[in-house]
Structure 1
Amino acid sequence: MSAPPPPPWREDETDDDLDVFGLVDHGEDEPEPEPERVERQPAPPRPVGRARRPRVRTGGSHRLRAIGRNLAVERPRGAVVLAVAALAVVLVAALLVVLFSRPADRQAVSGDRVTFTVEPGEDLASVAARLDERGIVASDRAVLDAAEDSGQTSIGAGEYVLREQMPAADALAVLQGRAEGASHYVVVGRGRWLSEVLDGLAQSTGLPRADFEAAAEDPTRYGVPEQAPSLEGWLDPGEYYPPVGADAEQVLAELVKPRLAHLRAQGVTDPAEQQRIVTIASILEAEALPKDYPRVAGVIDNRLNDPDAETRGLLQVDSTVNYGLGRRNLQFSAAQRADESNTYNTYQHTGLPPGPIGMPSDAAIEGAVHPEPSEDLYWVTTDIATGHTEFSRTYEEHSVHQEEFRRYCAQNPGVC
């Protein structure tokens, strides 16, 4: 006869985890002892919100499941700690790989041309650091090591032509003038005055400015017409790469050659005519936009060729007056307009000024060589920002455009 089923669990019995661990499996052959009847006290009221687990009678295997369940609660916390530690190890390892695998030097020259300026008085450590910052060399240490190997630590001031990526020894050789083909980077700007160009050449090459002044004293040594009072106007605007080691005279000669070649290409071979064309071209560069060069050149010819016209042979060009004053401006006083001592004052002196007033571009040269015929005697730029220029045949018409220019200047203080 089978044993009677165990009495059902009462819903009001307290839940005690000790009951779980106290159950023992005695086997099927041993009858379960009759439970003693004990007078039970009513169970205390359960706290509000506490979930009640249904009690399940089981054997010893339940203990293992319970223990496993408690361990599972703790495992994620430990796993997170281990994961963070592993990630930290990986990051540190990666950083060490980057640090120790960084190339000490580049193996070959590559990339486009770049300019690099060495300031006067700058030491090797500063130059090496800036080469590293720009990515030209792999490290500043490589530059210092290359200098130690070569036995040369001095670097001349100037602007040098390098490549985007270079071995440290190659870059240093260029900066020290030891590399074959090493060159400076020189720019002559359109409309720049000779004094400004010489300043730039001294800075770009590291040569003393006094060397350029001395080299420019005799313009004729470069093939410039005898009528030219200086090299003003005869240095062709553009970019140049004179070799490191070239002296001031050699640099100037390279800048004059393309000017003479372009004049010959335009059919201008007579020295006096060359001087006239370069002078007119310098005025065009200062007074107009390229699209207006031929037309302004035509107005200049009209004034020069008809001394009986309203303008009486006077060019009346503001830019020539200011060149004679040694300043860049668009306006000047009435006293400065009346100053005859200024030989470049085209309000007082007829004809062209004594010489060019800046470095004209090839486009300005072409405009001077091919003036546009017209009956105009006046021009004025009424909008400095856009370069819009008005042309007139009479002074009466010109006065209206002059008033437009004055209004523009009043509305744009500091521009004029």
Structure 2
Amino acid sequence: MNDLFSTTEPTEERATPSERRASRRERRRARRRRRVRTFFVLTVTVAVVAGIAFWTYPRVEEMITGGPTIETDYPGPGHGEVQVQIPDGATGRDMGAILVEEGVVATEGAFSDAFDENANAALIQAGTYTLRREMAADDAVAALLDPANRAEVTITVPEGFTTWQVYERIATVTGTPVQEVEQAAEDTEALGLPEAADGDPEGWYAPATYSFEPSDDAATILAAMVDQTVTRLDRLDVPEREREEVLTIASIVEREVNLPEYYGQVARVIYNRLDDRGGETNGRLQMDSTVLYGNGEVGGIPSPQETREESNRYNTYQHAGLPPGPIGSPGTEVIEAVLDAPRGSWLYFTTVNLDTGETVFAETADEQQAHIDQLRSWCDENPQSCGTTQD
């Protein structure tokens, strides 16, 4: 009869010696497999834990210290100086890449974070900035928002400046040899000089204060000044065929009187003299300022001999009509006065008080002589101030 507790597998006591050996080998292999699995699980677990720690440590440290660590941002305030060019349309990340390359900030990420956290960062303008090396990202953003850090070249062209005065001003401010500036001016096509100028830029360099990048060359600077004049004439609706004449008259007016209240009347004197071909002036402007310009001067009184020199094309005592072109760069106010000169029959004007600039106008030579006598009396009383008679 079968034993109710029997099993199909032999027990250790009933197994044969070979069966017992096989069983022991199987148990050893099972133990090895368990050890391998355990080792693999532990290895993966350690790797995961290490990765998490590596990722979280800087952030935990940042929470504890209250700011980014030295590995991602410089502590500031920085040292030395470096000029950085921010191009037009640059994003915060673009700026960060530029600043990292120039050694201003430690990482792009630090700058991007600081950029995003500053509500005014979007107001940063393209241009060249003077910054420090190894700045904190927050400070770098603030520095780019500060106009004082713009590394601009500022050039002011006063009203009435001649071309040679403009070239000298550019050379002085930028450190460019004046010969290079003059050579740049010869390429009138690159300057955008209108055909009406007939190749002569005199009068087309608009008086204004300009801001340029340190990298801008003389051609770029001069082209901006010409473009400003074209823009002004466009705004005033001056026909292209009349622009050279308007600039010429305006440049003379600006040199002849120094008070805007007289601009329009002096312009009317010029118009009247141009029309007076058969009258007292015989169509001659007889302006000291044009004679002086033709001699390469910008102030003073021409001598009687200078007013008789016919070789000077700008000598309006000898040559009827307008001179060959402008004698300087007129400002917007005087151009407007020339375009809207008041009605009147004046052929003469004289500044009778050189301290105040008081100027009187006359229709006849006799009236003009009386005004000249008035000026002479004033000069006798103020010899230290008397120097110019304008007619």
TM-score, length-normalised on structure 1? 0.56
Contact 1:216 1:230 in 2 (8 A): no
Structure 2 counterparts to residues 147-296 of structure 1, below 5 A: 168-169=132-133, 182-221=151-190, 222-270=192-240, 272-288=241-257, 289-296=259-266
Shift of 1:231: 1.4
Distance in 2 of aligned mates of 1:341 and 1:106 = 68
RMSD of the TM alignment (CA)? 3.1
Distance in 2 of aligned mates of 1:354 and 1:198 = 21
AA partner of residue 376 (structure 2): R
Shift of 1:181: 6.0
Structure 2 counterparts to residues 116-135 of structure 1, below 5 A: none
Structure 2 counterparts to residues 52-201 of structure 1, below 5 A: 107=77, 168-169=132-133, 182-201=151-170
Shift of 1:237: 0.8
Structure 1 position 298 matched with structure 2 position 265: no
Distance in 1 of aligned mates of 2:281 and 2:301 = 20
Distance in 1 of aligned mates of 2:174 and 2:323 = 32
Contact 1:106 1:167 in 2 (8 A): no
Distance in 2 of aligned mates of 1:106 and 1:320 = 60
After superposition, the Cα gap between the structure-2 partners of 1:388 and 1:377, relative to the gap in structure 1 and judged at 3 Å, is same
After superposition, the Cα gap between the structure-2 partners of 1:188 and 1:338, relative to the gap in structure 1 and judged at 3 Å, is same
Does the residue aligned with 2:212 lie in a helix, a strand or coil? Answer: coil
Shift of 1:330: 3.2
Identical positions, percent: 36
| Counterpart position of 2:323 | 353
AA partner of residue 390 (structure 1): V
Structure 1 position 374 matched with structure 2 position 374: no
Distance in 2 of aligned mates of 1:217 and 1:409 = 44
Shift of 1:260: 0.6
| Counterpart position of 1:339 | 309
Distance in 2 of aligned mates of 1:229 and 1:303 = 27
Distance in 2 of aligned mates of 1:353 and 1:380 = 21
Does the residue aligned with 1:256 lie in a helix, a strand or coil? Answer: helix
* CA shift digits 1:278-298 (9 cap, x unpaired): 000101110122111111111
| Counterpart position of 2:383 | 412
Contact 2:349 2:361 in 1 (8 A): yes
Distance in 1 of aligned mates of 2:177 and 2:291 = 30
| Counterpart position of 1:97 | none
* CA shift digits 1:260-288 (9 cap, x unpaired): 11111111132x31000000010111012
Does the residue aligned with 2:301 lie in a helix, a strand or coil? Answer: coil
Contact 1:220 1:226 in 2 (8 A): no
After superposition, the Cα gap between the structure-2 partners of 1:182 and 1:347, relative to the gap in structure 1 and judged at 3 Å, is same
After superposition, the Cα gap between the structure-2 partners of 1:393 and 1:364, relative to the gap in structure 1 and judged at 3 Å, is same
Distance in 2 of aligned mates of 1:305 and 1:188 = 33
AA partner of residue 189 (structure 1): P
Give the counterpart of 1:311 among 281, 288, 301.
281
Shift of 1:414: 6.1
> Which range is displaced more, 405-414 or 342-351?
405-414
Shift of 1:194: 1.1
Distance in 1 of aligned mates of 2:309 and 2:256 = 21
Does the residue aligned with 1:390 lie in a helix, a strand or coil? Answer: strand
| Counterpart position of 2:335 | 365
How many equivalent residue pairs?
A: 255
Shift of 1:162: 10
After superposition, the Cα gap between the structure-2 partners of 1:351 and 1:229, relative to the gap in structure 1 and judged at 3 Å, is farther
Shift of 1:244: 1.2
Shift of 1:407: 3.4
| Counterpart position of 2:297 | 327
Contact 1:303 1:314 in 2 (8 A): yes
Contact 1:392 1:398 in 2 (8 A): yes
Distance in 1 of aligned mates of 2:132 and 2:377 = 58
Shift of 1:375: 0.6
| Counterpart position of 2:121 | none
Contact 2:277 2:283 in 1 (8 A): yes
Distance in 1 of aligned mates of 2:359 and 2:76 = 54
Distance in 2 of aligned mates of 1:106 and 1:370 = 59
Shift of 1:107: 4.6
Does the residue aligned with 1:199 lie in a helix, a strand or coil? Answer: helix
Runs of at least 5 residues in structure 2 that lack an aligned partner in the other structure: 1-74, 81-102, 105-126, 136-142
Contact 2:355 2:385 in 1 (8 A): no
Contact 1:191 1:358 in 2 (8 A): yes
Name the one with the larger helix percent: 2
Does the residue aligned with 2:156 lie in a helix, a strand or coil? Answer: strand
TM-score, length-normalised on structure 2? 0.60
Shift of 1:381: 1.2
* CA shift digits 1:291-317 (9 cap, x unpaired): 111111111111112211211100010
After superposition, the Cα gap between the structure-2 partners of 1:240 and 1:346, relative to the gap in structure 1 and judged at 3 Å, is same
Shift of 1:227: 3.9
After superposition, the Cα gap between the structure-2 partners of 1:106 and 1:323, relative to the gap in structure 1 and judged at 3 Å, is farther
After superposition, the Cα gap between the structure-2 partners of 1:268 and 1:106, relative to the gap in structure 1 and judged at 3 Å, is farther
Does the residue aligned with 1:186 lie in a helix, a strand or coil? Answer: strand
Q: Which has the larger radius of gyration?
A: 1
After superposition, the Cα gap between the structure-2 partners of 1:220 and 1:363, relative to the gap in structure 1 and judged at 3 Å, is farther
Distance in 2 of aligned mates of 1:194 and 1:204 = 15
